[in-house]
Amino acid sequence: MSPDRLPFTSLFIDGTWRPSSTGATFPVHAPSSTTPVGTAASASPPDCAAAIAAAARAFPAWESTPLSSRRDVFLRAADRLAAGARRGAVVAAAAAETGATAELTGAMHDLQAHYLRDVAALGATLRGETFPSSVPGGQAFAHRRAFGVVLAIAPWNAPFNLTIRAFAVPIMWAEECPRVQAMTVEIFEEAGLPKGVLNFLPVSKEDSPARVAEMIAHPLVRKVNFCGGARVGSIIAQEAAKYLKPCVMELGGKTPAVVLADADIPRAARAITSSALMNAGQVCMSTERVIVHKDVEAALIQELTQLFKQVKIGDPERDPSAVLSGLFTQASAERVVELMKDAVASGAQVVTGDLTRQEGVIQPHILRDVKPGMALWEKESFGPVIVFAVANTEAVDLANASEYSLSASLWTRDVYLAHRIGARIRANCVNINGPTVHAEWQRSMGGLGGMSGYGHFDVEDWTQSRLLVLHPEQEHPYPVVSLLE
């Protein structure tokens, strides 16, 4: 397609789609290639300042809007998603910009209608409390209020649903997949979200570090929301720390699946395969480490090997036998291969796979005898690979031998054992007899510190508890002044 026919993604500031104030643009490329699939406006410093100012102007009216009216905006957006008018366009844009399969993007699209209805219902849970003041005759009122302008940065690996999740805050950022994220903005624009409440700022890769730092430093930005890798999350957190601004960080995972001796092995193998290979392993909750009891190791490896060998990764549009797309960049694929080769050099054994890549495509891999201290155990691979560790009584210790704490799964038929062991696994969400790629909307995913980040995308983290103290009508003696009487 000629450059002048490529889709163009604009900025969205104060309710208006517009180009960058400087006319700057950046190309959007297909994954693992230099093929252009679109062009986007690149936000300038004045554009960022205008978006923040628009959000600040919109904030007082939006905060005072009745919860029922805010709920209705979300419900109208959910209805538009459920109608599916944009489903095909979202699937096509995600395939072009991120390489995601139609099955994955379609499923994520369909789930968002339910998610938005759930979010709309959260308004009914926004409650304060009142209690007697420590001043005799006084009364204290604790209530929850919004922060104000928030900077939200959404990732590329699940751009549609994770961008919508970021709608709890009014400013979003896009770099790798602006067209997909712009579609989420359009849905809320059509649903009647007032202008200025949500602003959308694509920016080039070269300019994004400076723009992010400038926006974090802006005095009207009250909080920062980032979902992505730990390296960038650490940089953003350090910038926010300069101004003592709070953050919510959902970062990476090195998710363990703990399989005990009494587990349903075929079912566990299916769940592990799904969670390990979904989106070619490019999910923060992807199963990366399998910690299995020695008595069922052979059976589980056999089941997983059969399943992994049936999954072909490639270009589904060119090769109908490929069920998954490759990694986002060739550099990502090269890094995954190097991690596996390093593990093999340190004593790990390859169960399935050939330690090679074809550009950004790596076929599913299983490695055994990978131990703490090896890079493949310590670092998030973000690729289609799992590592095996055999355990007897130290399964929990191995599961917790990681700086990541996002998700986990535990496989056992003994419900009492599940509760005892599951409570000891250091993860935000432990799925008993279920896949690691799962979380409950009532308590959104988040890390427990370290490389998985901290905070949640929920009412508690996105509102502030403020206190009003009503002093009694009868005046009490005041220190200092009472000495003068």
**β-pair partners for 366:** 352, 386
What SS3 class is residue 468? strand
Alpha-carbon distance 443 to 108, whole Å?
19
Outline where 2-149 has alpha helix (H). 45-64, 67-83, 87-98, 102-121
Separation in Å, CA 36 to CA 23, 31, 32, 334, 435:
19, 10, 11, 22, 36
Nearest partner of 304 among 339, 353, 269, judged by Cα: 269
What is the rounded distance in angstroms from the CA atom of residue 102 to the CA atom of residue 284? 20
List 48, 227, 247, 284, catalytic entry: 284
Amino acid code (one letter) for 126? L
Which helix (H) or strand (E) segment holds residue 481: the answer is helix 481-484
Active site residue 284: yes
Sign of CA dihedral 101, 107, 112, 118: negative
Q: 200 CB contacts (<8 Å, ≥6 apart)?
A: 11, 12, 13, 172, 174, 181, 182, 185
Nearest to 418 by CA among 268, 270, 254: 268
Cα gap 260→390, rounded to integer Å: 10
Q: What is the chain's percent helix, strand, coil content, to nearest 5?
A: 40, 25, 35
Alpha-carbon Rg for the chain, nearest whole angstrom, is: 25
| Burial of 129 (C-beta count, 10 Å sphere; 0-12/13-18/19+) | exposed
Q: Would you give the distance in Å from CA 141 to the centre of its chain?
A: 34
Q: Are strands 11-13 and 16-18 parallel, antiparallel or unpaired?
A: antiparallel
- DSSP helix/strand/coil, 464: strand
Q: Among 175, 250, 303, 380, which one carries the catalytic annotation?
A: 250
Q: Is 250 a catalytic residue?
A: yes
Nearest CA among 153, 305, 169 for reference residue 233: 153
Which residues are tagged catalytic? 250, 284
